[in-house]
Amino acid sequence: MSLLEKVDTKTLPTYDIPIMYGRINRDITLTDDKVMLRPYRLSDADSLYRAARESLKELMVWMPWAHQEYSKKESRDWLKERPGKWKKGISYDFAIFNAADGSYMGGCGINDIDHAYRKANLGYWVRTSYTGQGVATAVTLLLAKWGFKELKLNRIEIVVATNNKRSLRVAEKAGAKREGILRNRLIVNNSACDAVMHSLIPGEVL
């Protein structure tokens, strides 16, 4: 008899986590006076492509998907995968819009979800024409609140390269606790780099 055969599955812990079963509604919007978030749609392809192309100089430093030949097909292909990732509880990705005029401002999401420990990563990017206006901070707080309320997360992590000063300021302004330096945590331009681990917990944003 193998070790696996000896396990009594009745004694294993279970987790009532809705993200494991695709129960999270995609027909939602999250908003405040500054930004509006909603799950990505295939119809966002043009907006995503234009924003990415506008912001390539900044994005290529930090985002592995951003490169000089970034194409509209890549935007469409990525968007086609979003509903399936959402349904499986792998990644919850949102488009960011200006709450006043509806213009596309960037993207954000909750991913790297650990269902057993109810923790996940939160990421964001803002197109160049909207940086420095508090957009990413507003997005972080909106998305974190949603993650704690709807996904029942206990912890949200924001991992930022040590020299990404803008993103470090966002985490700080959002009230995330700086926990320490993780050595060689990220790959930036094909090289390992250290990152700062930040975290939010429900009592800090709800």
| Spatial separation of the C-alpha atoms in residues 19 and 52, rounded to whole Å | 29
Nearest to 17 by CA among 113, 104, 115, 97: 115
SS3 readout for 119-176: EEEEEEEECHHHCCCCHHHHHHHHHHHHHHHHCCCCEEEEEEECCCHHHHHHHHHCCC
Q: Is 189 helix (H, G, I), strand (E, B) or coil?
A: coil
Give the residue extent of every domain in the chain.
17-205
Residue 171 has pLDDT above 50, yes or no: yes
* pLDDT one-digit tens code per residue, 78-136: 999 999 999 999 999 999 999 999 999 999 999 999 999 999 999 999 999 999 999 99
* Confidence band of 190 (pLDDT split at 50, 70, 90): confident
Phi, psi of 149 (to 5 degrees): -75, -50
- Judged against a pLDDT cut of 90, whether residue 181 lies above it is answered with yes
Q: Are 133 and 77 spatial neighbours (Cβ–Cβ below 8 Å)?
A: no
pLDDT at 12: 38
Q: Does domain 17-205 have CATH number 1.10.3720.10?
A: no
Amino acid 23: pLDDT: 75
Q: Which run of H or of E encompasses 45?
A: helix 45-54
* Overall pTM surpassing 0.75 (yes/no): yes
**164 pLDDT above the threshold of 50:** yes
